[in-house]
Every structure is written in structure tokens, then in C-alpha cells.
Amino acid sequence: MDPLAFDGQVAIVTGAGGGLGRSHALELARRGASVVVNDLGGGVDGAGSSSSAAEHVVDEIRRAGGEAVANGDSVATPEGGAAIVECALEAYGRVDIVVNNAGILRDAAFKNVTPELLDPVIDVHLKGAFNVLRTAWPLMREQNYGRVVNTTSGSGLFGNFGQSNYGAAKAGLMGLTRVLSIEGARNNVRVNAIAPIAHTLMTVGQIDEAMAPELISPLVAYLCHGSCEITGQAYSVGGGRVSRLFLGMTTGITEADLSAESIATRMDEIDDTQDFVIRW
């Protein structure tokens, strides 16, 4: 097939100063997109800020013959999210693609989670996607075209010890993905999610170095392309493997006089996964 190109399109990639976001930005730019490289430049926990990370990626893109601008606004506030989109409009006049990738970690067992560990994680991951899309969404609807990729996680879909804050945020992003896929359908706005497995600063010591971020970005590029009609789906991706994630519902039981006791005696039937319906 012909190469999937993005000539004339404008992409916003949040958290693109390193790791997965950098890889996504480079891949989209290599394929012809003009990219807004957004990164606050803080640490893994979200503390601090620096423009150098985003600017370095922009330099990489330009040296390779691509087009990009750096942006250092925070996704964690409505004002910051709007400013990121305004940066794209000022530089290129439109927005076609949003890749919500920005993220931080503040891991702790649930008994130790304080507001200082919870709120910033929700603000960056979940509210961050809201904050960027609230300004980009009307533009996509008006032009009857848009592609959105949200970054969920196995921690949110399957659970992981010490990541109640992170997992809750990532599960919320899956809910957002599903709702926006429905609301965007009539205006040719496709919204999907990825659950990446890759070696980055956020996963040092947890993920093997062979699981390179560059092995995630081809899926992002496909989901961002105009030829992709898929919407409302989630994909696990890492190390060259791509698989669909889905939500299923068992056949279960139906009783006119349902009671706690009847449920207790028929839980094996309720839990039986031999027959199920895929809901998404």
C-alpha cells in the first residue's frame, strides 16, 4: 500500500519532550505533519519546568526536514490546554490531530495517597486531555475532520499495586475515549486509545530497554491517519506486538424474583465467560 502521509495536517502531541511523546512527534513529522511539540519540561513527578526538552525535539524534526514548533504550556489547567491549541492555530492555522500523551507518576499504596499525590496525577492525565480537547474539539467538528489518540494504561484497565491515582486517571481516559467516539462520529472525528508498554523515564527499572518507544508510534500514526475509520477502541501495544483490548459482558442470569440468595447460588453462571457479548 502507499505510505500513510500527513501532508498539510497539523498535530498536537502533549508530553512530547521525551519518551513516547517524542517518538510520536518524530513519526508524525517524518510523515509530513506539522507538529506542536508540547512539554512542560518537568520531572517524572511533574515538578519543575523547562523549555529545553520540547525545543530539542523540534530541532530534531527540523534537522530531518520536518516542521514543528515547541510549546511549554501545562495541560493541567484549562488555560494551558487552550494555549496549546492556540499555539497550533497561530503557527499553522488548524488542528487535525491530538495525541494526549502527557503524564506524570506519584505512586503510593492507597493508604498513603494524599491530595498532593492524587490531584496532580488526575490534573495531568485526565483533566489534561479534557483541557486540550475542549478547545480543539469545536475546531475538529467545524471542519468535519479530526483524529484523537488518548493514552490509557494497563494500570487503569487491569490494575497495578501502588497506582490507584494513576490507574483511576487512565481508566477515566478510556471512558472519555468511548464517549467522544460517539459524539464525534457524525463529524468524522475518530477517537481511540492506546495502552503502551515501553521503556521510558517513567518506566525505568520496570520495562526492558528492548521495549522501545519507537515501537509504539506506528500504531499512533495509523490511528491518526485519515484512512483509519476505527473509533472508540483501545489497543495494547509494545515491543512490536499490537492487540485489541475489549470489554465483554457474560450472558449472566435472569430471574423475576432475583434475591441476594439466588445470586449467591448462581455466581458460577453469572461469571461464566463461555458466552459473552463484546460491548466495545
Active-site residue list: 166
Terminal alpha carbon distance of the chain: 28
248's enclosing H/E stretch is strand 248-250
Closest alpha carbon to 168 in 49, 45, 48, 176:
176
Give start and end residues of each alpha helix (H) in the chain.
19-30, 52-63, 78-92, 115-143, 154-157, 164-183, 217-224, 260-265, 267-271
Q: State the Cα–Cα distance between residues 125 and 152, nearest whole angstrom.
A: 9
Closest alpha carbon to 150 in 193, 109, 91:
193
236's enclosing H/E stretch is strand 234-238
Q: State the Cα–Cα distance between residues 25 and 246, nearest whole angstrom.
A: 27
Q: Is 59 helix (H, G, I), strand (E, B) or coil?
A: helix
Q: State the Cα–Cα distance between residues 39 and 3, nearest whole angstrom.
A: 29
CA-derived radius of gyration, the chain = 20
Q: Is 229 exposed, middle or buried (0-12, 13-18, 19+ CB in 10 A)?
A: exposed
Q: State the Cα–Cα distance between residues 11 and 25, nearest whole angstrom.
A: 8
